[in-house]
Structure 1
Amino acid sequence: MLYVSTIPPRFHPTSRGHETQTDPCKDKVLQELDEIFGDSDRPATFNDTLNMKYLERVILETLRMFPPVPMIGRLIKEEVKLPSGYILPAETTVVIAQLQIHKRPEIYPNPEEFNPDNFLPENMNNRHYYAYIPFSAGPRSCVGTSFPVVESLYPSGVENPRRRRTSF
């Protein structure tokens, strides 16, 4: 059975001092799990995780606010001319700071506020592909990009299913 407490601590929104901000999130996650499982003792399935839309948004928002890697370095092979006119010479190392991108108010309104609704489809439709890169993006992104999200959604235990109502 999926326990909210099985979200790995490194991704848990309350693990970084946001306890008071995420209490409404906790209630919504528990409500979502109750809607999926009710009083059932059955183990969760992968298909159940596909219905955990709000929990997924909580995990994505946590990764936005606390990317597992603070920055990515890339060596550019060819000269690059930026829209500003500045030229980056070939063999230059470029450092991309995900946290700075994830905290831009023109991309994420109130970027310091924990808001899973940042990942509602209507809020993502016009967002640039590279505006959310907790594991990098593109051809050299982390091959396990979706693993932490699935790991957080998928159950890691089948003990007492009622535990999910009290543990977070």
Structure 2
Amino acid sequence: MDPNDVGTYTLLSNIYAKEKRWDGVVKIRKLMRDKNIKKEPGVSWIEIGNVTHVFTSEDNKHPDYGQTYQKVKELLAMIKPLGYTPDIGAVLHDVEDEQKEYYLSYHSEKLAIAYGLLKLPPEASILVIKNLRICDDCHSAVRLISKLTNRVIVVRDANRFHHFRDGRCSCLDYW
């Protein structure tokens, strides 16, 4: 109906990827390039001290990215004993499982939350804004991070506010 709607192309590409039909993914992405249709990248931001810090997935442009990556790595190691298992089935790329886990580890919202944990006082809530919907993997991870750190973490995604506290989310895991 709308040949320039990026959402339609993204959905079709994701359907092909979910079925591991990588030839279909390649065709759709080529068609998008040919038509100059671009998917909006996932971005998360957090404000600290009147400064807005913006993160993209696998971001290495932030001045404190090394420290932030280390914090994410520590958090993920600490929530695994609490039941966290990376949802690699959600990664729609034709790569090895180890690479899929890496992609999930450094999503923009995880980076923004880790940065907030590094820079905000221990009693402060963490508020992260995200331009797209939070993925299942990040939602599960943030629930456990809120429990582990005893922090209130609020993620405002494209659909709603997710208010995480004590390992639970206000959306009751329906989003």
Tell whether the structures are fold-level matches, with TM greater than 0.5. Answer: no
Please state which band the TM-score falls in when normalised by the shorter chain: under 0.3
Name whichever structure is richer in strand by fraction.
2
Question: What is the TM-score of this pair, normalised by structure 2?
Answer: 0.24
